[in-house]
Amino acid sequence: MTARRRLIAATRKLREVGSIASAVAGTSHPYMAHIVPMRRCNLACAYCNEYDDVSQPVELEEMKRRIDALGRLGTSVITISGGEPLLHPELEAVIRRIRETGAIAGMITNGYLLMPERIERLNQAGLDHMQISIDNVMPDEVSKKSLKVLDAKLAMLAEYADFHVNINSVVGGGIAHPEDALTISKRALGLGFSSTIGIIHDGSGQLKPLGERERRVWDEVRRLTRRSYSRFNGFQEAIANGLPNDWRCRAGSRYLYVDENGMVSYCSQQRGYPGIPVAEYTTEMVQREFLTEKSCAPNCTISCVHQVSYIDHWRAPQKTMVTPGGAGHGAADGLVQIR
C-alpha cells in the first residue's frame, strides 16, 4: 500500500471511530441508512428480490434532497444500494453529496461496470467503502456474480481503488458449490481486500439453516478471515444453526432503508413499514422506533440491521410491538454478512 493510500485509510478509520463514539453517546440519530438511487439491475440473480429491469434512475436533485434529509437526522453512514447503483448516470454526484453531509459513504455493487476510469471517478467523489458479492466461481442459473467474470475487476480495484473493498461470498439458498466461497475468500484476501461470508435468506429475510457441507465451508472461511466487530456476539452462529436470536431490532431508528421512492422502511425485506417519506422523517420517529419491538426480529438474517442495533443491545428495553405486514403503527438488507 502506498503512503497516500495509508493516509486515506487512517483518516477513514478516524472518521469511523468518531461515528461509533457518537452512536454510543446518544440514541436520537440513525447510525446507518441504505439508500436506493436505482432499482434497475443489469443482472437477475435467482434469489434476489431487490431489483427490476425497467426502473429509471432517481433524478439527482431528488437524491440530494433525500440525502440532505438523512443528514438533518444526523445519519453517520449512508450506503448506496440497488438494484445496481453503477447504472445511475450521476452516481459520483450522489456520493459527493453524502460526503458533504459529513457521513461515511458506502456502496454495494455487483462490480460488472467497473473500469479503471470509473474507479478513479469514485475515488475523486470520496467513496469510503465498496462491497461486491460474488456467489460462485463459475456462473450458473442461480447467479452470474462469478469469480470467473469478476476477477479482472478485482485486479483493477486492487490497483486503482483508494476506498476500502470487501468481497462477500455466500452459502445456502441454492448455491450449488458451497466450496466456491472458500476460493473467493482466499482470492479476496490475496488481493488485500477484506472478506465476509453470507447465508442467503428467504424472500422475507428469514433464516435458512446451513447443511453439513455448507457449515464446513462457513467455518473454514471464518477461520481465514480476521476477527471483527460482528464476531463479538452469537448472532451469526445461531443463524447457521437455524436458531432464533433474542435481540432488540432498532430498524426505523438506528438503521433506515430508503427505497427508490424515498420511503423509509425497516429494511430491504420489510419495504413499506413504517412507509414514511424520508423528507418527513423526524427525530421523534427515530426515538419511537428505537423503543418499538419488531415481530420479525427473532428469525431475521439482515446482518446490517443487527450489527447497527447491537450498539444499543444493553439499553432501552422496547415497550411496544409492531408486526410488519400486519397490525401495527405507522403508514401503509440480503445476505447476512459474517466477518
Which H, E and C letters describe 94-162, residue by residue? HHHHHHHCCCEEEEEECCCCCCHHHHHHHHHHCCCEEEEECCECCCCCCCCCEHHHHHHHHHHHHHHCC
| pTM for this predicted structure | 0.90
CB atoms within 10 A of CB 92: 17
- Which residues does the chain have with pLDDT short of 70? 173-174, 200-208, 226-234, 325-339
> pLDDT, tens digit, for every residue of 172-196?
766 778 899 999 999 999 999 999 8
pLDDT value for 339: 31
The domains of the chain, with CATH numbers, are 3-338 (3.20.20.70)
Rounded CA-CA distance 41/261 in Å is: 16
What are the cell numbers at 265? 422502511
The helix/strand/coil state of 276 is strand
Rounded CA-CA distance 85/87 in Å is: 5
pLDDT value for 202: 52
pLDDT value for 336: 35
Residue among 216, 219, 244 at smallest CA distance from 301 = 244
pLDDT value for 325: 65
pLDDT value for 330: 35
Q: At what angle do helices 180-190 and 147-160 cross, to 10 degrees?
A: 20
> pLDDT, tens digit, for every residue of 107-160?
999 999 999 999 999 999 999 999 999 989 998 887 889 999 999 999 999 999
Residue among 97, 107, 96, 109 at smallest CA distance from 129 = 107
Averaged confidence pLDDT in the chain: 88
pLDDT value for 173: 63
Q: What do you get for the CA distance between the two ends of the chain, in Å?
A: 22
Rounded CA-CA distance 130/253 in Å is: 24
